[in-house]
Structure 1
Amino acid sequence: MQTSFSRISERLNDRRFAVASNSHGLSGSDTVFHYLVEGDAISSTYQGGRILIGQQVGRVTGPNTIELLFQCLTTESELLAGWSRGTVGVDHAGRTTLAFEWGWLSGATGGGESRYLELLAEKQEK
């Protein structure tokens, strides 16, 4: 029997994602996110563009939903932290998609919405 955790794991574990859109955020098209999933626990690292290094930790909250806390150090030496709630989906080509609502907790104010698209295998080797 497949659980919501296993479906999310199949879609996220050891996969890389790039920004498709990000209103009011720092990550951009040069930022790559690499996710790992163990049970209902999610972690990731990200970097590129204005992000020198970033980390996320979170959990599966439903059949296609997750929540994360994130922190990063920017190329301008800003230390920032925030939260996000997201939905894991699939596009017409079979690639995993992520859609988030997010907000800052420290280092900045406001928030926004962002969308991410799974990188093809040949682009994941960067």
Structure 2
Amino acid sequence: MQNLSASVQTRLHDRRFVVANNAQGLSGTGTVFHYQVEDGVISSTYQGGRIRLGTQVGRVTGAETIELLYQCVTLEGELLAGWSRGTVGVDHAGLTTLSFVWGWLSGATGGGESTYVEITA
């Protein structure tokens, strides 16, 4: 898994991301995701906007692909969980981007597509 995850680890580890487009989703303006990657295993926390606290766990599945399970508690006290499959890319400015197809497993129905972009300090 180490060789497979090297580029993803470089692009995600200890980096933060914000929503670029998530029309059908819960995360939005003000939601910040902070990722960690070690030996092909991904974890993250997220909060802000409508999200009081969220966590993700997942794995690297290819040179530029990942899959995640996520859960969160909203400001309204809802407990939600879902899945996503994503692609790690780079935009014209050299910032890391994430593009996901996702769906809900518990607490909500439906799904959609979303994109995120790295934020710099």
Give the TM-score of the pair, scaled to structure 1: 0.93
Runs of 4+ in 1 over 2 A off after TM superposition: none
User: Per the alignment, in what secondary structure is the counterpart of residue 3 of structure 1?
Assistant: helix
The answer as to 2:34 corresponding to 1:34 is: yes
Shift of 1:4: 2.5
User: Per the alignment, in what secondary structure is the counterpart of residue 100 of structure 2?
Assistant: strand
Shift of 1:24: 1.1
Deviations along 1:12-70, one digit per CA (max 9) or x if unpaired, are 00000000000211100200000000011000000000000000000000000000000
Distance 2:23 2:110 in 1: 11
Partner of 2:80 in structure 1? Answer: 80
Runs (5+) with no aligned partner, structure 1: 122-126
Q: How many residues align?
A: 120
Bigger drift between 77-86 and 23-32 goes to 23-32
Shift of 1:120: 1.4
Percent identity reads 71
Distance 1:98 1:65 in 2: 9
Distance 1:24 1:52 in 2: 18
Runs (5+) with no aligned partner, structure 2: none
